[in-house]
Amino acid sequence: MNKLTFPIILALVALTAAGCGSSGDGSASTAGSATLARARAVRFSACMRTHGVADFPDPNKDNDFDYGISVSGVVWTRAVSACRAWQPPGTLSARRTPAQQSRTLRFAACIRAHGVKDFPDPVNGEPVIDTNKIPSANRPGGMTILNAATAKCAAYGPKR
């Protein structure tokens, strides 16, 4: 059985704070919502690590996940399924704005220029990096070349 590798670099996820708290006047408590969103995001990260995605990071200061992971498709699917109750709204989404998609296409061109000739232009709504669509990544040494190229091209990657 082939082990599928999913390095998801520069993943674009937006956490949407659910207005869970309220003040006495009926307006949403921004601080309360932000605290709950943060707690949920941290719990989701911990759950993912517990279920086999050891390198899944805690959310950054903006409650976004910037991650690069490498697990089999089975492990990834199992972890996401097990942690679904903690998954913040909008996470693991690959939907990009037009400006983000434009940067992503420049990122792809840079990756190709740095040795990964079969790196496809990412489709909006799909991951930026999908090793199932990069045959060279599954050859000996292929991930080393891909990882080096993504590091060199990070400045061209999509911005939030």
- Render pLDDT for 86-113 as a digit per residue (tens, 0 to 9): 887 767 766 778 888 888 899 999 999 9
Select from 52, 48, 92, 56 the least CA-distant residue to 75: 52
Q: Other CB atoms closer than 10 Å to residue 123's CB: what's the count?
A: 14
Q: How far apart are CA 122 and CA 150, in angstroms?
A: 14
Is 145:113 a contact under the CB 8 Å cutoff? no
CA 74/CA 88 separation, integer angstroms: 21
Q: What global pTM score does this model have? A: 0.51
